[in-house]
Amino acid sequence: MNTPDAAATAPVKRSPLARIAGSLPPGTTLVISGTVVLGAASYVHLMAAGHSLDTDGMAALSVLWTILMSVGIGLFFPVEQELTRIVAAHRVSGTGVSGILRQIAGLTFGMIVLLAAGLALATPVLADTFFYGHREMVGALGLAFAAMALSNICRGVLAGLGRFGPFGWQLGIDGVLRIGLAVGFALAGVRSPLAFALILTVAPLVAALVTAGPVVRGLGKGPLDRWSSLLGGLGPLLVSTLLSQVVVNAAVVSTKLLAPAEGALVAGLLNAIVLARVPLFVFGSLQASLLSGLSAAAAAGDRAGFSRLLGRTSLVVTALGLAGGIPATLLGPWLIQALFKAEEGLGRGVFFWISAGTLFYMLAMVLGQALLVLHKHRMQLLGWTVATGVLIAVTLLPGEVSTRVCLAYTLASLTAVLAMAAALWLTILRRPAAPAPATSREALASAVADQA
């Protein structure tokens, strides 16, 4: 009598990575892949432009890119976050979200109209101040704002519906288009900064339209929400996000204002910032699991578990910042010349301050998420407000421009960390911890495992 092969009947052992991947919601791996592609696209876009444009053209594109990444993300990413939260809540309750989407889309459209009107009125000043008199670059900036807003609305609905597959596809399509267009322009010998600027409109717009089907199909008829409820959470979050983006992106615009004739310095600083902020792309993948774990601990009243998870994440972020910051400081001056065709002039000191600022900025984001979980939106807003004040004060000090703006970024981010840490201490961490129920401890342990 033949006996089954033991090896064939034994359960297959899966690696830790495979077990984690199997526990993720469907489509999450596509989101991760899309995020990687879109992050890489930023580098390819700027590298292709750096090898194609002259100094003034690259400086103009650098300022446009920075304004879009600061003002645009500051205004429209909170819309995506709130839309995700509201749509997810309606999905759980079984009600449609068409009414909510109409409200938020109308609010976003109003923001775009106000932005467009402001850009139109200020076109001469903006063109002369930031874009060497090229008024078409102001128009390209307005179009990029509109494309970003549409993308954020679509992603907010998809994330709230739990449709992470189309969400990931939108990110990936956006990134692939940016890479293809930028490389194609470079190979074709395009020398127009406007062409490279319009990539920031075409790629996200096409990606949003391609993945619009699942958004429309998943809406369902639903009621309108109270405007006071919508604006109550969105308002402070929008201002906090906008100020945080000002802190992380101000160096390039400040340099253009303080040293308008130094086009090579403006472009070089953007290259340095993009290089030193590589850890931020990795950090983005930690935020969802961090928010989930902190929410579980806070809901259970497990202050000790909340503190442990917060401390553990802070250590991971610190290690991430050092792993990216040390190579950037040592090799940065050479890398920006090799990758982006930047001119010489930026030393290791600039890269050190940018890397330190990035580390502090990530820590501030971690602490800010903890404050949001505890419904302390205004505390987070206060932290970024004080940090912005420090940024302005240090930027206006006398001294060498590149050192000043980078030091301002570092000290402002450190100020945000200290302010939010103090707010957390006063809110929860100084209180005695209460033992968590067994079920809550299990949920928290699972969240910590996902975070690790």
Give 59's Cβ-side CA count (13 Å radius).
Answer: 25
Tokens found for residue 151: 């993308």
Secondary-structure percent of the chain, ordered helix, strand, coil, rounded to 5: 85, 0, 15
Give 410's Cβ-side CA count (13 Å radius).
Answer: 17
What pLDDT, on a 0 to 100 scale, did the predictor assign at position 445? Answer: 42
What pLDDT, on a 0 to 100 scale, did the predictor assign at position 438? Answer: 43
What is the rounded distance in angstroms from the CA atom of residue 212 to the CA atom of residue 200?
19
Q: What is the b/e burial string over 404-432, where b = at least 16 CB atoms within 10 angstroms of the residue's CB?
A: bbbbbbbbbbbbbbbbbbebbeeebbeee
Query: CA dihedral in degrees (311, 313, 318, 322; nearest 10)?
Result: 150
Number of CB atoms found within 10 A of residue 370's CB:
30
Residue indicated by tokens 């302010």: 419
What pLDDT, on a 0 to 100 scale, did the predictor assign at position 135? Answer: 93
Nearest Cα to Cα of residue 341 among 42, 48, 45? 48
What pLDDT, on a 0 to 100 scale, did the predictor assign at position 431? Answer: 55
- pTM for the predicted model, two decimal places: 0.74
What pLDDT, on a 0 to 100 scale, did the predictor assign at position 1? Answer: 47
Phi, psi of 51 (to 5 degrees): -85, -10
Give 413's Cβ-side CA count (13 Å radius).
Answer: 27
Burial, 93: exposed, middle or buried (Cβ in 10 Å; 0-12, 13-18, 19+)? exposed
What pLDDT, on a 0 to 100 scale, did the predictor assign at position 206? Answer: 97
Which residues of the chain carry a pLDDT beneath 50?
1-4, 6-11, 15-25, 432-452
What is the rounded distance in angstroms from the CA atom of residue 147 to the CA atom of residue 83?
17
Nearest Cα to Cα of residue 362 among 433, 330, 410, 328? 410
What pLDDT, on a 0 to 100 scale, did the predictor assign at position 429? Answer: 54
- Residue 55: C-alpha distances to residues 137, 265, 266 (Å): 16, 9, 9
What pLDDT, on a 0 to 100 scale, did the predictor assign at position 446? Answer: 43
Number of CB atoms found within 10 A of residue 67's CB:
18
Q: Where are the alpha helices (DSSP H) in 10-72?
A: 16-23, 28-52, 55-67
What pLDDT, on a 0 to 100 scale, did the predictor assign at position 43? Answer: 86
pLDDT tens digits along 286-333: 665 565 566 556 666 777 777 888 888 888 889 989 998 999 999 988
